[in-house]
Chain A
Amino acid sequence: MAPLKVRGVKRVIDFAVKVRVAPGGRGVQEQGVKHSMNPFCEIALEEAVRLREKGDAAEVIAVSVGTRQSQETLRTALAVGADRAVLVEVPEGGGAAPGPREVAAALRKVVERERPHVVLLGKQAIDDDCNQTGQILAALLGWPQATCISHLSLDPSAHSALLHREVDGGWERLRLRLPALLTADLRLNQPRYATLPNIMKAKKKPLELLPLAELLGTPPPPPRLRVLSLEEPPGRQGGQRVENVAALLERLAAAGRI
């Protein structure tokens, strides 16, 4: 039986946009700013679709936790090749966006409902750079996990996954028993473009809306983190030129840097 995959995707501000701190200093300007799928989520999605094309997976389900606008990200996921999509809807304007803990709690409910064999997430989102959701979700589920993977192959008959992780010392090779949770790193693959025919077909694929409160069965807990302030980094100062290495060392010593 070929495994099912669940893929988490997140809608974030597009990486090419120049981000500005919003008035009030508590967040960044999001209104009218271009958003797109988190690049690491794109990589995870590509891997899931490839596994389905190879025959190692039966179905790819794309899941997102966010406001209704995340539908556009899920449609893109469908256009790239996911079979179904689920949006766990968070009401708009409800204060801070859900953090990793809240997202993991919601995803856990979806996983319990769908019973996939593999959950693939991007290693981190480029807006908060938390790198936590995958790990927390694995702990909540009690599943084996491998984060920052750069190579994956499934062995459905043996119910295991063989993968590489990039770690400080080099590569780590792991074999995980399924069901397992994996998070994708940059070099896992090169995501494809959604071809025009697939974009047109995406409209016909099912996209389910699930309000968060309904999914959890209880009102969602308040966010555990509060942003106190946000500042832009200091402007770039001009550099100084020195004649040679000796002068450089002298300057650095004089400035107390070495």
Chain B
Amino acid sequence: MPVYLAPWRASPCAFQSSRSESMPNLASDGVVCAPLQTFTEEETMLKNMVTKFAQERVAPLVQKMDENSKMEDSVIQGLFEQGLMSIELGEEYGGTGASFFSIILVVEELAKVDPAVSLLCELQNTLTNKLFTTYGTEEQKRTYLPRVAKDTIGSFCLSEAGSGSDAFALKTRAEKRGDYYVINGSKMWISLAEHAGVFFVMANTDPSLGYRGITCFIVDRDTEGLHVGKKEDKLGIRASSTCPVTFENVKVPETNILGQVGQGYKYAIGMLNTGRIGIAAQMLGLAQGCFDHTIPYTKERVQFGKSIFDFQGMQHQIAQVATQLEAARLLTYNAARLAETGRPFIKEASMAKYYAAEVATLTTSKCIEWMGGVGFTKNYPIEKYYRDCKIGTIYEGTSNIQLSTIAKSLAKEY
């Protein structure tokens, strides 16, 4: 085999998700060279189903949810009913047992219609479910997984007013009292807090140990002392609630510690690595959805006797944006497949998230320009995509943090 193809040699398990009989097998020595946009049959059916669902059940409500800054109950219920909130969970917990890549496809399809709805699905699948299945005890899994598969939304509480990127500088305290802990502190910028039924709270059990005291607690919403504050009035993804959450002498039994004491920081980093791919998928879908709304308009709109799409200047801009969209897609899909097959993916995940967020910003900005005055008004969906995209460079690790992560990985390679 030629030397330049050597990096493509993959172990037989690569490029195969849990069910992939329909993948082409091109070489007898187990090398599979399918294009990144090859899906298993189930993944394709799933993608088609979500596209339909998003168009029929979500699209009509998008403007209303954005204006009122509130997710409709029918949308949340619909997501649960279709099995979209428990994609990777095992069947024994009420989930579906589909591949990790399926989550990425679902998040992308939903984001084409409403990035806020997509975020709900993304956080539940890549954060809440993953935390339980990776670090939960059998007891915790049996208690919570059927609930999160059926109707309970999970919410991850890490950031505080004084600690965002510097997450481990968090101040929320958890004091041990016999067989339970008492949590005091306040969290900020907590996504989905308005509707969440269970919270993952990162609190420090021993500040003298620095970040090695950070522990992850599972706290039910109706626990006394837990208070969800008024949601933020945001620029974008307004349908997704972002609230401060305060803890006043909240008692949590020892058995509700996720994993081990003092290991919370590791869990946070670990989960955010896969979460990054999910956000990349969200930004990708956002950009693609915006693009898909714009191009038909450019072909219809006639100025100076021809459609604006036919002007070479426009064509070049459109082609550039389309190329970057494709690049973002391939980065995201590749990172997802790497994660799925258990290969190292931290650098690729950071690259995907960083790039997809940047591409989303560029694409939506250009799309407004191409739509002209119409793009600037709220009658058309374009301006919403433009507002929604900005959060991509900020949450789940700012773009600067992503770049530092990539550089760190690179430093190790040379």
Bound Cα distance from A195 to B77, whole angstroms:
13
What chain B residues lie within 8 Å of A200 (beta carbons)?
Answer: 42, 96-98
Bound Cα distance from A196 to B52, whole angstroms:
13
Q: Give the contacts of B1-31 with A (CB-CB under 8 A).
A: 19
Q: Of B19, B41, B49, B84, which contacts A194 at CB under 8 A?
A: B49
Cβ-defined contact, A203 with B42, below 8 A: yes
Whole-angstrom distance from the CB of A236 to the nearest CB of chain B?
Answer: 11
Given A72-B44, A202-B45, A203-B41, decide whether A197 and B19 contact each other with a Cβ distance below 8 A: no
Whole-angstrom distance from the CB of A37 to the nearest CB of chain B?
Answer: 10
Cβ-defined contact, B82 with A193, below 8 A: yes
Cβ-defined contact, B82 with A195, below 8 A: yes
Q: Of B19, B41, B44, B83, which contacts A196 at CB under 8 A?
A: B83
Judged by a CB distance under 8 angstroms, whether A76 is at the interface is yes
Given A194-B49, A196-B87, A200-B97, decide whether A75 and B82 contact each other with a Cβ distance below 8 A: no
Q: Give the contacts of A163-211 with B (CB-CB under 8 A).
A: 193-197, 199-200, 202-203
Q: Of A75, A193, A196, which contacts B96 at CB under 8 A?
A: A196
Q: Give the contacts of B87-101 with A (CB-CB under 8 A).
A: 87, 91, 96-98
Cβ-defined contact, B48 with A36, below 8 A: yes
> Interface size of B by Cβ–Cβ distance < 8 Å?
19
Whole-angstrom distance from the CB of A257 to the nearest CB of chain B?
Answer: 28
What chain B residues lie within 8 Å of A193 (beta carbons)?
Answer: 49, 52-53, 82
Bound Cα distance from A199 to B83, whole angstroms:
10
Q: Give the contacts of A229-245 with B (CB-CB under 8 A).
A: none
Whole-angstrom distance from the CB of A237 to the nearest CB of chain B?
Answer: 14
> Interface size of A by Cβ–Cβ distance < 8 Å?
14
Bound Cα distance from A202 to B45, whole angstroms:
10
Interface of A is mostly: helix
In the complex formed, the residue of A with least CB distance to B21 is A203
Cβ-defined contact, B19 with A199, below 8 A: no
Whole-angstrom distance from the CB of A110 to the nearest CB of chain B?
Answer: 23
Bound Cα distance from A79 to B82, whole angstroms:
12
In the complex formed, the residue of A with least CB distance to B86 is A196
What chain B residues lie within 8 Å of A195 (beta carbons)?
Answer: 49, 81-83
What's the count of A-B pairs with C-beta under 8 Å?
Answer: 46
Whole-angstrom distance from the CB of A176 to the nearest CB of chain B?
Answer: 32
Cβ-defined contact, B48 with A76, below 8 A: yes
Cβ-defined contact, B81 with A194, below 8 A: no
Bound Cα distance from A194 to B44, whole angstroms:
12
Whole-angstrom distance from the CB of A72 to the nearest CB of chain B?
Answer: 7
What chain A residues lie within 8 Å of B42 (beta carbons)?
Answer: 199-200, 202-203
Whole-angstrom distance from the CB of A145 to the nearest CB of chain B?
Answer: 31
In the complex formed, the residue of A with least CB distance to B44 is A72
Given A72-B41, A75-B41, A193-B82, decide whether A199 and B52 contact each other with a Cβ distance below 8 A: no
Cβ-defined contact, B48 with A196, below 8 A: no
Cβ-defined contact, B83 with A203, below 8 A: no
Given A76-B45, A203-B41, A203-B42, decide whether A196 and B53 contact each other with a Cβ distance below 8 A: no
Bound Cα distance from A194 to B91, whole angstroms:
17
Bound Cα distance from A144 to B83, whole angstroms:
41
Judged by a CB distance under 8 angstroms, whether B322 is at the interface is no
In the complex formed, the residue of A with least CB distance to B83 is A196
Q: Of A72, A194, A196, which contacts B98 at CB under 8 A?
A: A196
Most buried by A among B19, B46, B49, B53: B49
User: Which residues of A are at the interface with B, using a C-beta cutoff of 8 A?
Assistant: 36, 72, 75-76, 79, 193-197, 199-200, 202-203
Q: Assuming A72-B41, A196-B96, A200-B97, what are 20 further A-B pairs, CB within 8 angstroms?
A: A72-B44, A72-B45, A75-B41, A79-B49, A193-B49, A193-B52, A194-B49, A195-B49, A195-B81, A196-B46, A196-B82, A196-B98, A199-B42, A199-B46, A200-B96, A200-B98, A202-B45, A203-B19, A203-B41, A203-B42
Q: Which 9 residue pairs are nearest across A and B when measured between Cβ atoms? A: A196-B83, A196-B96, A199-B45, A195-B83, A197-B83, A197-B96, A195-B82, A194-B49, A193-B49
Q: List 9 A-B contacts (CB under 8 A).
A: A72-B41, A76-B45, A76-B48, A195-B82, A195-B83, A197-B83, A199-B49, A200-B97, A202-B45
User: Which residues of B are at the interface with A, using a C-beta cutoff of 8 A?
Assistant: 19, 41-42, 44-46, 48-49, 52-53, 81-84, 87, 91, 96-98
